[in-house]
């Protein structure tokens, strides 16, 4: 009798574990279409805000790189570093012709680059980080829009 009680308790605890209780919980949460629509709309709106912020940051990084390039003379010893950054910007535009930098604004500290290789490396890294963040946010935004579109589309057929 004690063995059967122990077996029942252990089996019940196993069945109520995270893995097996998550499926009925997700089915229950997704059963109400109005709540699901609100949740998915909220996720899409959050991702749109993140994408807009990342786009603005990427645009600012491009504007800073272009302004720094224009300020630097052709005979500057660091021009080779700036040429690498300029080539990187040109490559970014050729890879994604749909990206249009908008509203890039220079802040107070954006043009505070010294005339050394370390500051050019910081500028290049800032441009890379902004690019990676933008494309990461873009990928997640597209994924959340697709998920919400699929969620809304099946509601009409069933």
Whole-model pTM?
0.69
Could you tell me if 143 and 78 lie in one domain? yes
Could you tell me if 54 and 94 lie in one domain? yes
For residue 6, what are the domain limits?
Answer: 1-31
DSSP class of 75:
T
What pLDDT is attached to residue 154?
46
39 Cα distance to chain centroid:
19
Could you tell me if 11 and 41 lie in one domain? no
Structural domains counted in the chain: 2
> Residue 1 to residues 4, 5, 6, 7: CA-CA distances in angstroms?
5, 6, 9, 10
- Spatial CA neighbour of 98 closest among 50, 158, 142: 142
Could you tell me if 18 and 90 lie in one domain? no
Could you tell me if 108 and 73 lie in one domain? yes
59 and 134 Cβ atoms separated by less than 8 Å: no
**Crossing angle of helices 79-95 and 117-157, rounded to 10°:** 10
Could you tell me if 85 and 112 lie in one domain? yes
Could you tell me if 100 and 143 lie in one domain? yes
Distance in angstroms (rounded) separating the CA atoms of residues 65 and 75: 18
pLDDT of 106 over the 80 cut: no
Could you tell me if 38 and 27 lie in one domain? no
Could you tell me if 57 and 74 lie in one domain? yes
What pLDDT is attached to residue 112?
59
| pLDDT per position as a tens digit, 10-65 | 877 777 766 666 767 777 777 777 887 888 888 889 999 999 999 999 988 888 88
Could you tell me if 26 and 77 lie in one domain? no
Could you tell me if 114 and 38 lie in one domain? yes
144 and 43 Cβ atoms separated by less than 8 Å: yes
Could you tell me if 44 and 112 lie in one domain? yes
Furthest-apart CA pair in the chain: how many Å?
91
124 and 88 Cβ atoms separated by less than 8 Å: yes
3 Cα distance to chain centroid:
53
């Amino acid at each position: 009798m004690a063995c059967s009680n122990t077996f029942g308790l252990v089996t019940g605890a196993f069945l109520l574990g995270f893995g097996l209780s998550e499926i009925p919980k997700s089915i229950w949460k997704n059963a109400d279409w109005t709540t699901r629509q609100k949740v998915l709309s909220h996720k899409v709106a959050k991702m749109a805000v993140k994408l807009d912020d990342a786009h603005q940051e990427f645009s600012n990084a491009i504007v800073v790189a272009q302004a720094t390039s224009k300020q630097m003379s052709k005979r500057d010893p660091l021009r080779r570093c700036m040429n690498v950054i300029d080539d990187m910007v040109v490559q970014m535009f050729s890879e994604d012709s749909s990206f249009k930098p908008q509203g890039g604004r220079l802040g107070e500290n954006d043009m505070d680059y010294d005339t050394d290789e370390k500051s050019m490396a910081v500028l290049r890294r800032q441009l890379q980080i902004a690019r990676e963040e933008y494309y990461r946010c873009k990928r997640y935004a597209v994924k959340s829009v697709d998920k919400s579109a699929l969620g809304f589309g099946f509601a009409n057929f069933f």
